[in-house]
Amino acid sequence: MKLYDSERSGNCYKVRLFLSLTETPCEIVRVNMVAGEHKCPAFLRMNPRGQVPVLDDDGFVIWDSTAILVYLARKLEREDLLPIDARGMAEVTQWLALAQNEGLYGLARSRAVLRFNRPWNLEETQAAGRVALSVMDGRLVSHPWLVLDRLTLADIACYPYAALAPEGGINLEPYPSVRAWIDRVALLPGHTPLPWVT
């Protein structure tokens, strides 16, 4: 397998974290976003959206971090990370939706405004980010993990941008349960650090 990846991307990190936690071998191919490699014709043939991550599994190409996580969980038969029963799958999926909504449009974009000079409205993105953290904190106040009281794709998907919230100017102090959960994830065997945090 090959993962087309950018080290600074939280969405790419989600996939790298999954691979590390599950000890799944995968070749990492760095995509130079600054040089525009993600917009070149060869890359656009893999992902017409021109975004990372992209996974190539022996010619089967899939893009989008959530789709890649789901694919890997199923391929590796990791029902602990993505249950196959309707209720468990729904519980995990609702947190994947939060990661791709308030997590992306709030936490990730706040960071992108401050770190990468992206043009979004910082006040609006921070407000959405605080919604994500409040929802997560409400769950984590009485549970060690986001669903099923064990690590699942929900935690892997929500973790990076929650941990990076301070880079988007969002203080984690009001969210003690989120902070404790971030520490729990960091202590997991096979955890890979967020290398670009400064």
Burial 122-159 (b: 16+ CB within 10 A, else e): eeebbebbbbbbebbbebbeeeebbbbeebbbbbbbbb
Range of the domain at 99: 86-186
Does the residue 81 lie in any domain?
no
* 107-147 per-position pLDDT tens digit: 999 999 999 899 999 999 999 999 999 999 999 999 999 99
- Single out the residue in 15, 45, 75 at which a domain terminates: 75
Q: What is the CATH number of the domain that holds 180?
A: 1.20.1050.10
Do 69 and 99 lie in one domain? The reply is no
| Contact assessment for residue 99 and residue 163, using Cβ atoms and an 8 Å cutoff | no
Query: Are 91 and 128 members of one domain?
Result: yes
Structure tokens at 108: 């990730």
Q: Tell me what pLDDT residue 196 has.
A: 60
Q: What is the pLDDT at residue 181?
A: 98
Instruction: Say whether both 49 and 115 belong to one domain.
Output: no
Q: Residue 34: its pLDDT value, please?
A: 85
Q: How many CA atoms lie within 13 A of 42 on its CB side?
A: 4
Check residue 194 and give its pLDDT: 86
Residues sharing a CB contact under 8 Å with residue 98, sequence separation 6 or more, in sequence order: 132, 135, 136, 158
This prediction has a pTM of 0.95
- Given a cut of 50, the residues of the chain with pLDDT beneath it are 198
For 11-21, the pLDDT digits (tens) are 999 999 999 99
Pair 25, 92 in one domain: no
